[in-house]
Structure 1
């Protein structure tokens, strides 16, 4: 037989990996350039990293045994990630689900073998979260053989993000880096930034919070529309390490919505409200810090916000017209968007926050000054 000539210009491409489990296929994000100095890390469901890392570590330590039931409270994406990790490692899963968990996600959880307790509709984040924690404690009293994953408090949830840090280090190796992400439980932003800083990189961390969260002192405010899953909390989280954050941005629901709709309109990326909020913040910060690469953490897709956000796209504010109010103390905090240089300080979440007001009572405030000089890592 004759030799088959090489196709001109053709180079050999290594075979694509064939994964043994779906978690290997979806755990890593796609990196998408949004502008010269903004890159989006777009996850299908970000918390696969943390759930896999936590479950694997607990099994290796002998803390959890094969066949045991793992239980936790979740607003959605951790629930799915934990159910997938349990599916992979032969464990049972019970989820106490937020009111934000929709029918599509609940169906996935149940088909994966998870049992689900879902909280009734709630008007605010605090009530929803308190109900979930109370139900978890009740389950543990009834079934002491369950293992509570404690995603809000157990530092084991940091371990899975080392792999994400390695990916970021390879993909964005040169420029000083600013990470922009919702604070949430603290493990995604903290678990990414700690290894990067440990390698000697100049990395700034910008945390995004809603009004009404105790995590960084905005619990004195109420934003009735803002059950924004995965951004804030009505209870203290031990996994939030306040001294990792350089800057904090607080946004109301309408600003997060503007960021999410804008991301879809400008870049065809369908992502959730926490991603929308981070996208809005990153765009504003990147324009003022052109020497730094900004990495936006896009935790999940926008499907669970279809009705509350994307079906109302004509109501969305124009992101180009929005800017934060600069503050220097939490006493100055005010909706709809405030920014403060946090400077890696410690914080006691039991401190008194600003006086209680609703977001509707306060008018939008405009940008007042250029950004301060970046802190050195």
Structure 2
């Protein structure tokens, strides 16, 4: 049997499994999606001389990026220092420590907003004391777009991009924003559908509070500099119940065990295809469902049926509400509380 042999596990994890859900829907299923961006970002920074072997890379993370950066540092012989969110569980922390990363957990916080703000402030303190440390700035540096070019090429080789929608969590903007940017180089009509939780400033949902929100990584309580709002055609906002319904449906119907953001993206993709049955859809599943078992999947029996849910179609941000809202964004700029100058991908 002929097969590709990788020199490091990070190289293998940077490539998604392509799973065809139906004739017009493809799922990009990652174990840890941000490995793709972290690996290429670190390689590029080494090549440019911005960092050197033996340096320490530092950043804040709620989980996926911490694992990705630790793997990239292990791959390239660098030290890693993670300011860990309260959402980083014992399993991940143990892996990070064995990989050689310094893990600095933040104390329990009353809110994710306070947790996120504290983490960023702690990174700034570390940089003041240790000038040789390099802050990866996953929330602000467009270097993180670069690693998604090969994935865009992979999508292009399997999907008709002339009528394509890419659907996935917004997060830092690197994954969905980069895929759309690179796909539009040959097919400008590619549509980008962003998935957000409520309680996020990124696309103006901070006024709607979901008491059970644990969809870590796809929203933010602070402005992100590398989210280019003008790339997005449509935005879906999800609460916990709807995201769980999508995750359970994705597992039950296609045996894909993924995180809550993937479940939300799956619901959004099904709705977009219902509105335009001729479109091809690519759904991003950025991580596995393991860290959501206790807080989410264990409650599968009480999850609403995905087929019975439909989004509230809104025209203004003030109209949105739980459990699921949808709005034509039409490639508009950032809402007021997310107004950080957007950046586009590095070419």
Residues 218-297 of structure 1 mapped to structure 2, 5 A cutoff: 218-297=205-284
1:333 counterpart = 2:320: yes
Match of 1:165 among 133, 152, 160: 152
RMSD value over aligned CA atoms?
A: 1.4
Report the alpha carbon displacement of residue 129 of structure 1 after superposing the two structures with TM.
Answer: 0.8
Q: Which residue of 1 aligns with 2:344?
A: none
Compared with structure 1, are the counterparts of its residues 294 and 148 closer, same or farther at alpha carbon in structure 2 (3 Å cutoff)? same
- Would you say the 8 A contact 1:215–1:349 is kept in 2? no
Report the alpha carbon displacement of residue 19 of structure 1 after superposing the two structures with TM.
Answer: 1.1
Distance 2:306 2:104 in 1: 37
Give the SS at the match of 2:4: coil
- Would you say the 8 A contact 1:181–1:297 is kept in 2? yes
Distance 1:232 1:160 in 2: 21
- Would you say the 8 A contact 1:236–1:349 is kept in 2? no
Q: Which residue of 2 aligns with 1:67?
A: 54
Give the SS at the match of 2:282: strand
Q: How many residues get paired?
A: 339
Distance 1:134 1:315 in 2: 39
Distance 2:131 2:36 in 1: 27
1:315 counterpart = 2:314: no
Task: After superposition, give the CA deviation of every residue in 1:8-58 in whole Å (9 maximum; x if it has no partner).
Answer: xxxxx6x11221111121211111112232211100110011001110111
Give the SS at the match of 2:184: helix
1:118 counterpart = 2:105: yes
Task: After superposition, give the CA deviation of every residue in 1:185-206 in whole Å (9 maximum; x if it has no partner).
Answer: 0000011110110113531000
Q: Which has the larger displacement, 192-201 or 49-58?
A: 192-201
What runs of 5+ residues in structure 1 fail to find an aligned partner?
1-12, 353-377
Distance 2:268 2:110 in 1: 26
Distance 1:118 1:317 in 2: 34
Residues 1-377 of structure 1 mapped to structure 2, 5 A cutoff: 15-173=2-160, 175-350=162-337
Distance 1:291 1:194 in 2: 22
Report the alpha carbon displacement of residue 174 of structure 1 after superposing the two structures with TM.
Answer: 5.3
Report the alpha carbon displacement of residue 304 of structure 1 after superposing the two structures with TM.
Answer: 0.7
Task: After superposition, give the CA deviation of every residue in 1:213-243 in whole Å (9 maximum; x if it has no partner).
Answer: 0001111122121131111000000100000
Distance 1:344 1:327 in 2: 16
- Would you say the 8 A contact 1:68–1:92 is kept in 2? yes
Q: Which has the larger displacement, 101-110 or 174-183?
A: 174-183
Compared with structure 1, are the counterparts of its residues 201 and 346 closer, same or farther at alpha carbon in structure 2 (3 Å cutoff)? closer
Give the SS at the match of 1:223: coil
Query: Based on CA coordinates, which of the two structures has the bigger radius of gyration?
Result: 1
- Would you tell me which structure has more helix in proportion to its own residues? 2
Distance 1:16 1:320 in 2: 39
Distance 1:273 1:128 in 2: 20
Distance 2:338 2:224 in 1: 14
What TM-score results when the alignment is normalised by the length of structure 1?
0.87
What TM-score results when the alignment is normalised by the length of structure 2?
0.95
Q: Which has the larger displacement, 69-78 or 164-173?
A: 164-173
Report the alpha carbon displacement of residue 351 of structure 1 after superposing the two structures with TM.
Answer: 7.3
Give the SS at the match of 1:340: strand
